[in-house]
Structures are given as C-alpha cells and as structure tokens.
Structure 1
Amino acid sequence: MSKPKVLQIGPLSERFNRELAEEYEVSALWQQAEPLAFLRERGGQFLYMVSSARFGCSAEQLALLPNLRAICSFGVGYDPYPLQLLRERGIALSTTPDVLNDCVADLAMGLMIDSARRLSAADRFVRSGAWSSTTGFPLARRVSGKRLGIVGLGRIGEALARRAAGFAMPVRYHNRRAVEGSPYQHEPDLQALARWADFLVLTCPGGQATHHLIDAEVLAALGADGFLINVARGSVVDEAALIAALQKGVIAGAGLDVYEHEPQVPLALRELDNLVLLPHVGSASVETRQQMADLVLDNLRCFIASGQLLTPL
C-alpha cells in the first residue's frame, strides 16, 4: 500500500522529520531548487500539508495546491496563514495549543524577573570584570507585589496569572470581551490597564486585529516605572515606538522573545541595556517541543483516518 503524500513546508526537528517520513511519503518544499515550479508540476498530488507558525504558507503556494484538504501546523500562531482563503476553500487548519502553555508562561515570568531585577545585565557586569573595579551593581526593582496587566487572557495568559499568584501580584487583563467566570478584573481600556500596571505582558494572538496594538500612547501610559514583556508576536508592538520609549526612559524596561522582522533584531534594540532579548524560545524546551511534534502527527493521523482534526483552529 502506498503511503499518503504529505507536503512539508519547512524543517522541524530531526526526530519529527524522521517520524513523519516513516509514515508518509514526504516532499520537503524547502529542499526544492524551485519551490513554486515544483508545486506547479506536482501540487495537485497533495491532500495534506505540515508547516509551522514560523513558515506558514502563502496564498501563492495555496493556489498551486488545488486538492489540499488539511494543514497541520507546529505552534499556536496562525498569523502566517491566509485564513480567509482557507475558509473559502474549506481547508482545515490545526495548531498545537495547551501543550506549550506552561513553557511560555514560565518564560514570561522569567522575563519579568530578569527585566526588573536586571539578572542578564548583572551577569554581564560580573563577566566583564566590572565588579572588582566599581562600587557595585546598581539597584534593581522588586517583582513581588507589583501589578500585572495581561493583554490577551487566553490559555497562556491564565497560566501566567496563576504563577503571579505566587508573587502576590494583583492581576487585571485586557480582552475584546470579558472572560466569563474569570477571577481577574477585566479592563476594556488598554491604556487604562497600562497606567495601572507595573508589568504589561502580551500573550495575545498576532495578525491584523492586534497589529501595533502596543503603540506610543500605550507605552506612555505604562510609564517610567513600567515594564513591557512580549511573548506573543512581534507584530503586536510598534517596534519603532518601543525603541524610542526605551531610549528616552518613557518606560523602565522590556523583555522580548519576539520581534517584528524575525530573525532580524534592530541594532537600536541590541544596543540598549534596559531590556532583555531572547531568540523566540517561548516553547523551546525538550519536553514541550516533543509534545508539540507529537500533536502535529496525531492531528495528521486523525484527519487522514476520520476527516477530523484533534485541535482545529
């Protein structure tokens, strides 16, 4: 019996690539010398696609896949997919929710602590030899008891709020609509939430609806004692406005795991010392990445067997 044909847009882990190839006849699009020419010739063969929140797929690619029925995506982000086109064509899309909630929430908490207590900066201070030649490292700011504003109280936001309870942090959140049954106070005005918060943490989806949601006005409302933490999508923040706010002391600092044009990070950000920069590693633990890979495979198996996805968008 021939294996089902699967189009894979970009590479994932070696283990995932191997397991996928054991069960399916996989065509690796990134290995093709002329990807679009390959799709023009063979695109009609593929009913199933595997991709990720990093690679997504374009409308141009979809146009060359007339028989595509399902996309199984690695990650929770769906902004790199043309959703309206998928809906019009009836193409199912799955993501990998829940399994990465804890890792991303852990990272957000770590960025809050690092940004306020300046752990990375203190590490650089010691490594440079400055400790022995100065009066000491500057004072930092406390985290416990500070006010936490969460933009996007979904699964990750709720996981972060639970962690904040251990730090005795009051929590409020901003969503388009209040979350029914939530114990946390809903703040419909984003600027009001920023004015109240000591830490404004972004855990919302990307896409047009949240593009540059955090602009110069929100940063000004957060103020000179406030910290911005972004574990959502780079597009949620107006990066130019953030650079200006950090340079001018409009906000105290920031912790970023995501950027507008990854993997390019502006020199202006890299030169600043009042922020922590991470290379989009929110879900990057061995355990979580394996759970995500397993869920992609389970979604693909389920759809091929039943026409249904386990975790449809």
Structure 2
Amino acid sequence: MKLVVDENMPYVRELFADFGDIVAVNGRHLSAEQVRDADVLLVRSVTQVNQALLAQNTQLKFVGSATIGTDHIDQDYLASRNIPFASAPGCNATSVGEYVFNALLELAEKYGAELRHKTVGIVGAGNTGSAVARCLNAWGVKVMLCDPPLQRNGDSREFCSLDMLIEQADALTFHVPITHDGADATFHLLDAEKVSRLKADMWLINVSRGEVIDNHALLARQQSQPLPVVLDVWEGEPTPLAALVPLVDIATPHIAGYSLEGKALGTFMLYQRLCELLGRSVDKSLTDLLPTAWYQQLSLSEMPEQTALLRLCRFVYDLRDDDRQFRKIHQIPDGFDNMRKNHRHRREFSALALVNTDGSEVDCLTKLGFAGVVR
C-alpha cells in the first residue's frame, strides 16, 4: 500500500509505517501524477482534493484531511467514486482558542485595557469558537455568540446576529468555514459595508479563512481609521495583501492551530479512521507520541492579574515571535509556506503544571487549560 502524505503532518511515520510505503509531498503543489498510484492520501488545508487531482488515480481507498475545515475537499466527487473520507473535527480547537486568548491579552497590554472589562463577539460557535469561549469564560470575560446554523438547529446557547455583535461587542473573532452559497455564506461575511460600521475601538481577529473578511476593504479602513487587528489568515494565501500586513497589530501565517498537541491529534484521528476502515486494531497511543509535559511546576503564591497572566502565557507560547518573523518573510517567495513548514511546534497550556504553594484557588488557571497542582 502506498500512502501519499503532506510533509507537514507530524507523527505520520510513527502511526502509519505499518500500513505501507509513505511518500511525503509538498501539499501546496501536489499534482495528479504524484497521487496516480496512491492507495491513501493524507492532506492538510493547502491541498485541493478534487476531480483534477485524482483524475489519474483508479485505486484510492481513503482520503484524510488532518484539519477541522473541509472546504478544500470535493466530498461529492469522493462520494461519487465511493472513496471514504475523514477529517479531524476539533483536533486543533484548543490551540486556536489559546491563540485567540493570547492575542486578546496582547491587545489589552498594548492598548492599556482590561480584558475582563471587554465583551467579545465570537462568530462561529463550533469547536474552535467554543474553545475561545471557554478561555474567556475562565477569565471572567463576557462573550456573545453568533452562529445562525447552530441556532436554527436547536443549540441551547444564546445567540445574537452579526449586526448585534458589531453594535454591542468590543471585539470580534471569526471561527467559521468558508462557504459561497446560501443564506449563511461566509465569503466576505465582513464585507466593505460592515467593515465601515466597525467602531473605532473595535478589536478584530480572524483565525478562520482569509476570505471571510474583505481584505481590500479592511486595508482601506486601516489606512483611514485603523482598528486593533489580529490576522492569522489572509485572502490570497500564500500571498497576503502586502500593504495590509504592516497595518495590523499581530500577523501570522495561518498557524493558530499549529500546537504540537493539535497537529498530532489531527494525524492520530486519521490513523484511527483508517484502522477502522481496514479492520485493524488501534495499537498506538497519542500519549506515547507526545513529548513529556513541562512539569517544572512553576510556583504561584497568588492568582495572577492580567499582566502576570500574559507573562505566563508567553512562557508557553510567545505570539510576538511568530509576528516578528512573519513581518520579515511575508513578501519573500514561498516565505509564507516555509514558515508554516518550519514552524517550531508550540505547546498548549496543558503542557505546563502550576504549583500553588499556599493552597489558594487555582480554578481559573486550570479552566484555562494549565495543569494545576496544589501543595
């Protein structure tokens, strides 16, 4: 069996070596010829899996995408050929949630604000949006949710319209798939008209898909009445609008979900699914693959305030490092993809244990995701 896999997927060889020969490829530039004789195809969001890619292949048994989103997969075409498909819903939700929480803390530090005094509007309340809400709720931040499909399907949470979020929230963060048709289409969900209505002090974050926000409209807004903005995704990836990059507060190359835990879980979920399809037992463990958590056990004598919490979050993952590097390379040919490919595997909050030496309350930090130990 031949497995063609994206070279940026961790632990592929550890998990799939027993299935056959593994051929690692550049997912952005994968060709029909490269997958002509593949039995298994494992991709990430940069690969468009469609009829053109699979035109020369007559033996494909499984397609897996180690991602939450599936807009890059022509699932109707796969179904027409009876090719099983699996994605990895929720695999990097924690990673994205912590990225957004870190970004909000960085904006609060930069603009001299108290995050706890803000109301954050979350557009898209699925796995990643819910992860953001959990972090914010743990820190006592008010959230408002907007997700018309979930609202119609009977989700018991309270929802608001996007217009209401624009009017009432202090920050907007986007967590939706990219869709082009229907009442819930998300292409340019934040279009020029809505961008123009954003309050002057609105904080704007996009970690979903670049096309969800009209980047040219955002550029015009930043040139005339700038907002605090964090962008991890861009229209035209891997070639973002160059003039927009210097005008945002934090800029990164689609790596919000790139924690080691998140990427490993995505690969592991595909391993589980392929085992199921082939009737093989799952004899490997995700826990055994991941490095040992950082149990240096940092000691806390009291609950941290916002500045101390930011320092703690930076200890686990300093978002400013990726921002600085991206600003240097975003106009270099292949710089966007090379930074993603060579991105150092960051850890999640759970990799760090906090020792509370005086026995006082640490519930807030454990709810944020830190491993907590009281002594």
> When the two structures are superposed, what TM-score results if normalisation uses the length of structure 2?
0.66
Secondary structure of the residue aligned to 2:148 is: coil
Per-residue deviation, residues 166-200 of structure 1 (Å, max 9, x unmatched): 343222222123163544x312x322221211111
> Any conservation in 2 of the 1:196–1:222 contact (CA below 8 Å)?
no
1:114 aligns with 2:110: no
Rounded Cα–Cα distance in structure 1 between residues aligned with 2:233 and 2:241: 12
20, 26, 49: which one pairs with 1:24?
20
Secondary structure of the residue aligned to 2:154 is: coil
Rounded Cα–Cα distance in structure 1 between residues aligned with 2:30 and 2:159: 50
Q: How many residues align?
A: 273
Q: Which amino acid aligns with 1:57?
A: V
Rounded Cα–Cα distance in structure 1 between residues aligned with 2:30 and 2:102: 42
Rounded Cα–Cα distance in structure 2 between residues aligned with 1:29 and 1:165: 41
277, 283, 290: which one pairs with 2:257?
283
180, 183, 187: which one pairs with 1:211?
187
Rounded Cα–Cα distance in structure 1 between residues aligned with 2:163 and 2:71: 25
Structure 1 residue 202, shift from structure 2 partner: 0.4
Q: Which amino acid aligns with 2:159?
A: H
Aligned-residue RMSD, C-alpha: 2.6
Rounded Cα–Cα distance in structure 1 between residues aligned with 2:34 and 2:196: 50
Structure 1 residue 30, shift from structure 2 partner: 4.4
Q: Which amino acid aligns with 1:243?
A: L
> Any conservation in 1 of the 2:92–2:261 contact (CA below 8 Å)?
no
199, 220, 226: which one pairs with 2:171?
199
12, 20, 43: which one pairs with 1:51?
43
1:298 aligns with 2:272: yes
Structure 1 residue 28, shift from structure 2 partner: 4.2
% identical aligned pairs? 25
> Any conservation in 2 of the 1:101–1:155 contact (CA below 8 Å)?
yes
Secondary structure of the residue aligned to 1:271 is: helix
**1:90-169 to 2 correspondences below 5 Å:** 90-118=82-110, 140-169=112-141
Rounded Cα–Cα distance in structure 1 between residues aligned with 2:188 and 2:18: 42
Superposition misfits of 4+ residues, deviation over 6 angstroms? none
5+ long unaligned stretches in structure 1: 119-138, 307-313
Rounded Cα–Cα distance in structure 1 between residues aligned with 2:218 and 2:13: 38
> Any conservation in 1 of the 2:50–2:77 contact (CA below 8 Å)?
no
Rounded Cα–Cα distance in structure 1 between residues aligned with 2:261 and 2:129: 20
Q: Which amino acid aligns with 1:263?
A: P
> Any conservation in 1 of the 2:39–2:60 contact (CA below 8 Å)?
yes
1:253 aligns with 2:253: no
Per-residue deviation, residues 222-249 of structure 1 (Å, max 9, x unmatched): 3111011111111211111111122221
Rounded Cα–Cα distance in structure 1 between residues aligned with 2:197 and 2:236: 25
Per-residue deviation, residues 23-75 of structure 1 (Å, max 9, x unmatched): 322344549x9943455xxx3x4442211122242330122223334211111
In the other structure, the counterpart of 2:79 is 87
Change (3 A) 1:191 1:21: same
> Any conservation in 2 of the 1:228–1:253 contact (CA below 8 Å)?
yes
1:265 aligns with 2:240: yes
Change (3 A) 1:90 1:235: farther
Q: Which amino acid aligns with 1:12?
A: N
In the other structure, the counterpart of 2:159 is 186
Structure 1 residue 160, shift from structure 2 partner: 1.2
Change (3 A) 1:113 1:14: closer
Q: Which amino acid aligns with 1:159?
A: A
Rounded Cα–Cα distance in structure 2 between residues aligned with 1:73 and 1:277: 25
Rounded Cα–Cα distance in structure 2 between residues aligned with 1:207 and 1:64: 28
